[in-house]
Structure 1
């Protein structure tokens, strides 16, 4: 009888773990789709070409920004974005980046919901940036 209960318990645990993994996968798919609707992904070359006429925003936290960032970028961490909408112009393109791109996608989704239209994300992120940088 104990073997039967242990076997059923393992099936339940495995089922719960499978549901959790499925939920995580579906959430990531949702973020990916929303990100594609909210912003256009740019290669480093495309990003460099357009950044002079855009607002370049680094959405990493202040300490990461101070350690190194794209020359000319402003730091508006994702964690304070809701308090910073007034400092972002709606009439100019917005170029977003962070270490990779997940946080930039979430930022783009929030900006799109606030009525911003011209939003772009550095596809490779700052981790692979080869252009000019600055550290504080």
Structure 2
């Protein structure tokens, strides 16, 4: 399992990285990284079929704790999972944009 800082993540996101946000739906709706799919930690197991197996899956949460756990879990299942250190709070603190509302979940 890998972990990247926000600068590396931003560069990967600019190149089309696949991102899941493992926060609860209300947290996600209040502000999330643009393009991230809401996949609450409690539903991660049922969303596995919707995650790509041929490229990294970046995992983000509020601060990096839930994403670290989720990325470790995905890596144990053989996925190339990358936790984003600093999470959405860090993303916002650095002045990067947030999207609001809900979108389709990874499934």
> Which bracket does the TM-score occupy, shorter chain normalised?
0.7 to 0.9
The correspondence of residues 1-136 of structure 1 with structure 2, limited to 5 A, is 38=1, 40-51=2-13, 52-117=15-80, 119-129=81-91, 130-136=95-101
Whether the 8 Å contact between 1:41 and 1:123 is mirrored in structure 2 is yes
Runs of 4+ in structure 1 over 2 Å off: none
Q: Distance in 2 between matches of 1:103 and 1:89?
A: 20
Equivalenced residue count is 97
Structure 1: any 5+ residue segments left out of the alignment? 1-37
TM-score w.r.t. the length of structure 1 is 0.67
* Bigger radius of gyration: 1
TM-score w.r.t. the length of structure 2 is 0.84
Q: Distance in 2 between matches of 1:65 and 1:104?
A: 13
1:53 Cα shift?
Answer: 2.9
Q: Distance in 1 between matches of 2:84 and 2:79?
A: 17
| Structure 2 counterpart SS, 1:105 | helix
| Structure 2 counterpart SS, 1:135 | coil
RMSD in angstroms over aligned alpha carbons? 1.1
Q: Could you say which structure has the higher helix fraction?
A: 1
